[in-house]
Structure 1
Amino acid sequence: MYLEQIDVEDFRSIANASVHLNRELTVLVGENSSGKSNFIEAIRLLTDPLDGRRTRYLSREDLFRRPEAAMVTLRASYSGSTEDLAPYHHAIPLGTANATFTLTYTPPPPTVVRGRTDWIAGNGADPSDPTPKARERIRHVYLPALRDAVRDLGSSTATGVQMIIESLIAEADRTPPLNGQLNNRDQLLAHAHEHFRHIQNHKLLDDAARRVAEPLAQLTRGAYEQNTGLGFEAATIQSLARSLRVRMADSGLDPRDIADSGMGYANLLYIAHVLTQLNAAAEADLTLLLVEEPEAHLHPPLQTLLMDYLREAASNSRTGAPSGDWRGHIQVVVTSHAPSLAASTHVTDLVVLQRRLRRTPARRDGPAEQQQQTERRPAGDTTPPAGSIKPEGEWAKYETAAATVAQMNLDTQHIHKLNRYLDATRSSLLFSPRVILVEGIADALILPAAAKRLFPAGSLERARFLGTVLVPIDGVDFDPYVSVLLTEVNGARAAQRVAVITDGDQQNAVQKADDEPAFDRTGAPRIAALTTLISGLGATGHANVFHSTTTLEPELLGAGNTDAIWVAWSKQQPRAWTTIKTAIDAITAIEDRKKAFAKSMSDKELRKGDFAQDFLEAAGPAWNVPGYMQDALRWVTAEINQ
């Protein structure tokens, strides 16, 4: 069993958006204020905490700020086998396979304190949830961002250790003890009592008890004389657990207090501790582990290990037999700002959230749902919807949009390529609405310098460029990146403005990997194919292809940067460069000069990355940016108004 989809309407930054979740692990990524935490909050409201101590309730402030917003609507759709969903049969609409629960909240008018909360099972044919106890079988554990692992382990250790010990006792007691033997619980408590008694008999403790007993006897001898002693409370599993503390150290060393360990390892210990509790208790059909920013305090290799661990824990929870009346399944939902963490998981586990300029689409369920909302209001309530009493200046300017990669129906080869290529640098393309895709490292080195040359310090364009993600793809196969950024899902795309900068070279070469068809690297057909792909995705207003007539270095030469170009060449060929320069300078037509320069550079096998570095060093702050590069930079930094 797992939470397959969550639909959110008029909640915090979300006017109307849906997220499809994977059975084991889903990672919500995006820029700040894109709505990641708000989806986590929605799941917390739709499910009960595992320990039963709810701390999150809906309030008036949760209503999205738009004139037509009258109530918050949160909907959870659960998928699973027939056996998994048996306790929720009342929530499965006829003709469907998923159990659905909807939570609505109508804020109170200004003079009233409490709003109205309603639960609906299934398609809402019944105006309320007839079996609310079933929802208690679905739980969550929430790990907030910037948690204090040392403090949390200290405050939660007793309960967690007790749960683990009780689980181990239950497992061991499945084998009845031999005649005359104690069961496992009594064996442990007898062992503890014996050691406590031995400690109590120590001479220093006995002397301490006498020190207290002497004045007590003096004070009470005129009435009923009293005596005293020191001893431990009666041993129980709970009292033993309260006395224990989780400790940790490097392998091979004696464990020490976790306060002496690094914060990163303490956080990993805390997450491992929580997962152990979940497996030990398993007192739910489904427990959603909600982890905000697990990368906090972790360096990139530990982030990768953590994601593998979380996925494996969720997977393992589905392999064993159900524990008593519970299915015991675990599903993990993570929010992250870290490109390296996003890169350590499968691309189809990612959901990209974006801030978008607010649109005003029709409500998801249309007039019928609006009528249903009206009917659920108390009889005679003629007060305007809560949202309508706000001044016009308080309406939200932005809203959250969600693009679920798993729902993009990407080509299998594209998925394979993205999984191979989304390393720590390239995965940052999922964290900004503005993206520039370039062929290689030379372009990636030149473009930031070009933006500084083109846009004055403090300008809006300079600021927008700094907020743009620049992605060198190490080749010319832009299709997978364009597809994942521009495929529309539920009205949302992963990016809003994508500039592809490529060469218009005429090198008739073919690149081919073992698991993919030949890819034509010829300039003009490739550029035409890219344009066709963008058009086919319905993203013409969201993407543009900018290209040179040759390659980057000849274009820098053609733009009038002759001196810096030849200084850069001389760094790699201190002797032969003058002969090449003389031959190139003898060509009159600029396009012919550029083509000859490109051929010579290829023949001499100059290192493009080094050439770009040397060029920028020689050029200094004053150099000419090629026209196609200027066009790309101006376009990608323009106002986004779609």
Structure 2
Amino acid sequence: MYISKLSVRNFRNFKSCSLQFQRGVNTLIGENGSGKSNLLYALRLLIDENLPRRTYFSETDFNRSIGLWKAHWIIIQLQFDELDSDEELQAIAMHKVGHVEEMDITKGTVLLCCRPRESVRKKLFEFSEIPTKKKEGLDEILSKITLDDYEITYRGRNNVDFSDDDNYREYVGDFDKMIFPNPDDESSDIYGVRLSNFSISNEVSCTFVKALRDVEADLKSYRDNPLLNLLRGKEKSISVAKKADIEKKIEVLNQDISGLDEVKNVSAGISESIKEAVGETYAPNISIQSELPADIEKLLQSLKLWVGDPDEEGYQGRIWELSLGGANLIYLSLKLLEYEKVKVLEKVANFLLIEEPEAHIHTHIQKTIFQRLDKRNTQVIISTHSTHISSVSQISSVNILSRSNQNALVFSPSNGLDKKEVTKVERYLDAVRSNLLFAKGVILVEGDAEQILLPELVKAVYGISLDEVGISLVNIGSTGFENIARLFDDLRIQKHCSILTDWDKSILPLPSDEKKDTPIEKDCRNSQKSGQERKEKLDKFIKDNDWIDVYYAKHTFEVDFLLAGNSHEIVETIKKEYKTESKWKEIETALQDEDVAVSGTEILRLANKFKKGWFALMVSENINHLTYIPDYIIEAIAFASPHINNKTLLSMVRHRLRKLQELKIDSDKTDYSKLLAEILKLKNPDESVTAYCKAMENDAVTKLANHLK
């Protein structure tokens, strides 16, 4: 038995979501605040017997995007697969699939529902039956609803996914059209059967390992200390003779401590002081007694872990002497051992929920813990924002959470892909590339030169980094973009992905007859053919997919960077490499030639001479705010980041104007100080950005803003 699906409606930052799970290890990945902890808590509400049996919801538990929470429902649903024939579990088994009278006792559902009581639902239905109903009437009913008018029930065997908007409107209510169902017509196939004497948490084991943020405090706690959880009940297995012997020794030890002269003297001093203060009549009798617990259960609770670093053989100290990572590793190990202890109870299923295990634990340990988790007869669900853990996760068992406006989104990156396609994706997603799973937008590039120069260009020209706007720049290391780009789709990850690649149009004029090609012309022609084939292939690949677009350098990245107006940056680079002025002057003349056959050949010669990646690194040292970003790259940035708003653009504007104040070319007569002052006087970012774009029509920020519209 395992959880195959979790559906959530109106709970915290989830308006509606549905997650698919597999047997074994599953991973929830996402940025901070995306709702990973909320989903684990939603799971625990149904399967963790360690949570209070009485569940409460507050107004803040309702998703904010629905507006007024009143009369809305919170619904958390779990679907189980591979149920056995256990009599108890048949309380949640589906006895119908859809509308077909067909038994299927291997699947089951259980849901937690927080909804208005029947009397309130009846009022809503009666109102919806009024032919001349108006919104004011509904508002009046809603205004009188409080949380006291809500009920919380656990139900099984329901056949409807309430995370689906159409189902919610039909079976809960359409608040826009003011139509609500009749509670008298409720069907158990839709809403499920009330589970009055059955709890799924009693039938399964669930161990929850919370995020490792304050391990030291937890290891000192009586309630949360996993060591105490492991020791509880162990006193019953100690023989009576040993118990009596230990308890007798503690009793003698207490007497010896209490009888110490130093202790007696302090006791007498306290007694005398009180008598002097209040007199003999009112002074209480005082003594100091040692109270080491003689009870064996309490003695076991006094046991503490002593630990030592593996590099310090023979030394052990208290837990807080370890590094944070070491303490976290100890805590996590104790929780996993606690899980093994629970697992042997032979419940019908075992669930291990681990929240962000990566805190303060370095890369190799993160990967090792993940890969060594015992998956036998256990379903593991881990939440993380570690690229190292996500890089060793199987894409088919990953759910990606993404923040949106008051409502988190959930994506399944393997949805609709066959096994061969999934394998290709997993092969590419190493710890570096897997950061695209956390990004708001993605740019795929084919080589080191783009990977090195693009971030530097953006930082120098716009004053912000790609990371600041949530864009992951991923070097594919080839032109096989499809292997990764296929992740971005309506069925999978609904985020924008730009592909940057070369069209490889020949920089040399080519003869009409291929047979007359010189060796250099032949190389140019072959590259041009390959570029055209790649373009046709990619254009076909992205057709009808609104989440991917391709942006081409007409020739190559290096040539188009030069032709954008950046010969100065290249010349400043080669000056450091060629000490003879005549030599770099010769190169400068070639680079500034208007004929691309000349300038393009020279820039490619330099890139090949120094190797493209290293040459890009050299050039990056000479990039500044006056460097031009090629238009096709600006378009790619805009497509990958539609989330960039005018506040971010205004930050770029301020950066541009301040830099242009400090350093500008002699022929530029614009008064940037005056323009900056005028921009800063405007009331809001929208007005400021509009004014800037009007004044600076050909500027990099203006071009980006125009493409974002």
Structure 2 residue 569 is matched with structure 1 residue 564: yes
Give the match for residue 302 of structure 1. 365
Post-superposition offset of 1:276: 1.0
Distance in 1 (alpha carbons) for counterparts of 2:603 and 2:257: 92
Give the match for residue 697 of structure 2. none
Give the match for residue 397 of structure 2. 349
From 318, 322, 337, the equivalent of 1:257 is: 318
Structure 2 residue 303 is matched with structure 1 residue 244: yes
Give the match for residue 622 of structure 2. 618
Post-superposition offset of 1:432: 1.8
Post-superposition offset of 1:253: 3.2
Which secondary structure state, in structure 2, belongs to the residue aligned with residue 32 of structure 1? coil
Which letter maps to 1:192?
A: I
Structure 2 residue 128 is matched with structure 1 residue 121: no
Which secondary structure state, in structure 1, belongs to the residue aligned with residue 153 of structure 2? strand
Deviations 1:549-601 (A, max 9, x none): 222111122223223224435656667965983895697632x3465346535
Distance in 1 (alpha carbons) for counterparts of 2:262 and 2:224: 29
From 111, 115, 132, the equivalent of 1:102 is: 111
TM-score (norm 1): 0.73
Distance in 2 (alpha carbons) for counterparts of 1:235 and 1:437: 66
Which secondary structure state, in structure 1, belongs to the residue aligned with residue 568 of structure 2? helix
Larger radius of gyration: 2
1:441-520, aligned counterparts within 5 Å? 441-452=448-459, 455=462, 457=463, 466-484=469-487, 486-489=488-491, 493-505=492-504
Q: Is the 8 A contact 1:161 1:241 kept in 2?
A: no
Deviations 1:357-405 (A, max 9, x none): xxxxxxxxxxxxxxxxxxxxxxxxxxxxxxxxxxxxxxxx442221123
1:203-282, aligned counterparts within 5 Å? 233-236=293-296, 238-251=297-310, 252-282=313-343
- Of stretches 92-101 and 204-213 in structure 1, the one that deviates more from structure 2 is 204-213
Distance in 2 (alpha carbons) for counterparts of 1:256 and 1:406: 47
Q: Is the 8 A contact 1:571 1:614 kept in 2?
A: no
Structure with the larger RCO, 1 or 2 (CA within 8 Å, 6+ apart): 1
Deviations 1:75-101 (A, max 9, x none): 011223526x65312211134432210
Give the match for residue 633 of structure 2. 629
Distance in 1 (alpha carbons) for counterparts of 2:231 and 2:155: 39
Q: Provide the identity percentage.
A: 22
Which secondary structure state, in structure 2, belongs to the residue aligned with residue 618 of structure 1? coil
- Between the two proteins, the alignment pairs up a number of residues equal to 541
Q: Is the 8 A contact 1:554 1:597 kept in 2?
A: no
From 126, 141, 152, the equivalent of 2:218 is: 152
From 57, 76, 83, the equivalent of 1:74 is: 76
Distance in 2 (alpha carbons) for counterparts of 1:469 and 1:143: 30
Q: Is the 8 A contact 2:559 2:604 kept in 1?
A: no
Cα 1:145–1:203 shift into 2, 3 Å: closer
Which secondary structure state, in structure 1, belongs to the residue aligned with residue 621 of structure 2? helix
Post-superposition offset of 1:487: 3.5
Distance in 2 (alpha carbons) for counterparts of 1:58 and 1:139: 24
From 405, 422, 439, the equivalent of 2:413 is: 405
Give the match for residue 49 of structure 2. 49
Q: Is the 8 A contact 1:213 1:229 kept in 2?
A: no
1:138-217, aligned counterparts within 5 Å? 138-145=204-211, 147-156=213-222, 160-161=226-227, 164-165=230-231, 185-186=239-240, 189=243, 192-193=246-247, 196=250, 199=253
Post-superposition offset of 1:190: 5.4
- Of stretches 109-118 and 345-354 in structure 1, the one that deviates more from structure 2 is 109-118
| Aligned-residue RMSD, C-alpha | 4.1
Instruction: Extract unaligned runs of 5+ from structure 2.
Output: 96-102, 118-141, 159-187, 272-284, 507-527, 645-707
Instruction: Extract unaligned runs of 5+ from structure 1.
Output: 171-182, 216-224, 319-328, 357-396, 508-519
Distance in 2 (alpha carbons) for counterparts of 1:624 and 1:159: 59
Cα 1:22–1:168 shift into 2, 3 Å: farther
Q: Is the 8 A contact 2:93 2:108 kept in 1?
A: yes
Post-superposition offset of 1:431: 1.0
Distance in 1 (alpha carbons) for counterparts of 2:304 and 2:381: 28
Which letter maps to 1:296?
A: A
1:5-16, aligned counterparts within 5 Å? 5-16=5-16
Distance in 2 (alpha carbons) for counterparts of 1:162 and 1:450: 56
Which letter maps to 1:102?
A: L
1:283-294, aligned counterparts within 5 Å? 283=345, 284-294=347-357
Structure 2 residue 332 is matched with structure 1 residue 332: no
Distance in 2 (alpha carbons) for counterparts of 1:15 and 1:142: 25
Deviations 1:321-376 (A, max 9, x none): xxxxxxxx4x33222223233224333332111234xxxxxxxxxxxxxxxxxxxx
Cα 1:135–1:586 shift into 2, 3 Å: closer
Post-superposition offset of 1:430: 0.9
Distance in 1 (alpha carbons) for counterparts of 2:197 and 2:467: 52
Q: Is the 8 A contact 1:158 1:244 kept in 2?
A: no
Q: Is the 8 A contact 1:7 1:76 kept in 2?
A: yes
Post-superposition offset of 1:232: 5.3
Distance in 2 (alpha carbons) for counterparts of 1:593 and 1:626: 20
Which secondary structure state, in structure 1, belongs to the residue aligned with residue 66 of structure 2? coil
Cα 1:612–1:228 shift into 2, 3 Å: closer
Deviations 1:280-310 (A, max 9, x none): 233444443333322222233332233234x
Post-superposition offset of 1:10: 1.8
Give the match for residue 61 of structure 2. 62
